Amino acid sequence: MPAGPSPTGGTDQPAVACGRAAARRIPAMKRRAVTSRMAPPARAPSQRQGVAPSESEIPRPGLPADADPRELDREVRKELLTLPKGLADLVGAHLVMVARVLDEDPQLALAHARFARSKASRVASVREAAGLAAYHAGEWSEALTELRAARRLGGDPGCLAVLADCERALGRPERALEIARSPEAGQLGTDEAVELRIVAAGARRDLGQFDAAVVALQGPDLDTAGQEPWRARLRYAYADNLLAAGREQDAIRWFLAAAEADVEETTDAAERAVALSERPAPE
């Protein structure tokens, strides 16, 4: 996702998981619940701060014959029942395509999401899908607009980490920290709460507060045993922030701990630990 370097120095990618709402509403998006990138450090504000095109400007992307709205989560299909039958099927098929191509072609996913939104702007799951697609395509302002609209329509506290990361990408780390301190943050499940902590730590790094970024990720869940995907991400982010704070040996230990928890091998924690271990000591 264009907007800034990942901690591994690779190409720009989504910084946080889509979160509970996306995983629940559009099942195919659940595959993105863990990524190998943590919230990226100190990135420059994105230049992509425009708004989405108006409805009259939105072309309709082509639909393959197997784009079946029955693939959608039951809750999404229920929301779409507020639309006329033919329109519900059309919008649902485009939502299926959002999930299907999000990994490989986020711009195409966004095109499908924008078209769905143009036809069903009062459906919360449609606005949520549009926001998440915009986020993965690096359209930060558009993602904020769509996800805020989804929250007004549906009242779900999910995707706070995505909202906060968009604020970071727009050069507003203080706003990201405000989101992390909001009462709604206390309503999140474990995985999304961890994602929000990771983004908040990134915001601290944006502000040059490296030690505070490390402290923001500390807690009993770092040390407890387990192989949940969020645990690997938390340990990875902790190691990365330790490294940024100049604590290389501690970073190596936590990269190894992240690798131990990362049974699905979704991070490069082991490789980073090895690379740091082999780096010549400063003279």
- In the three-class reduction of DSSP (H, G, I as helix; E, B as strand; rest coil), residue 21 is classed as helix
Question: How is the chain split into domains, by residue range?
Answer: 20-206, 217-283
| 261 vs 231: CA distance, rounded Å | 7
3 state DSSP class of 78: helix
Work out the average pLDDT over 56-63: 83
How confident is the model at residue 58, as a pLDDT?
82
Tokens of 218: 């500390």
Cα 64 → chain centroid: 27
pLDDT the model gives residue 250: 97
Of the CA atoms within 13 Å of residue 268, those in its CB half-sphere come to 14
pLDDT of 165 strictly over 90 = yes
Sign of the four-CA dihedral 20, 21, 22, 23 = positive
Question: pLDDT of 202-248, one tens digit each?
Answer: 999 999 999 999 999 999 999 898 889 999 999 999 999 999 999 99
User: What is the DSSP secondary structure assignment for residue 45, as one 8-state letter?
Assistant: P
**Confidence at residue 59, expressed as pLDDT on a 0 to 100 scale:** 84
Q: Please answer whether residues 229 and 23 qualify as being in contact, where contact means their C-beta atoms are separated by less than 8 angstroms.
A: no
Q: What is the pLDDT of residues 94-105, one digit of tens each?
A: 999 999 999 899
User: Quick one: which of 267, 273, 271, 189 has its CA closest to 234?
Assistant: 267
Residues 68-113: tens digit of each pLDDT: 999 999 999 999 999 999 999 999 999 999 999 998 999 999 999 9
Contact 9, 240 (CB under 8 A): no
Q: What are the φ and ψ backbone dihedral angles of 114, each rounded to 5 degrees?
A: -65, -40
Whether the predicted pLDDT of 50 surpasses 70: no
- 75-78: Cβ within 8 A, 24+ apart: 75/24, 75/25, 75/125, 76/25, 76/26, 76/125
Give the C-alpha separation, 257 to 270, whole Å. 9
pLDDT band of 158, cuts 50, 70, 90: confident
Write down how long the chain is: 283
Assess if CATH 1.25.40 describes domain 20-206.
yes
Mean confidence (pLDDT) of the chain = 84
Q: What are the tens digits of pLDDT across the range 260-276?
A: 999 999 999 999 999 99
Task: Say how far apart CA 226 and CA 146 lie, in whole Å.
Answer: 35
Q: What is the DSSP string of 127-148?
A: HHHHHHHHHHTT-HHHHHHHHH
Q: Has residue 46 got a pLDDT over 50?
A: no
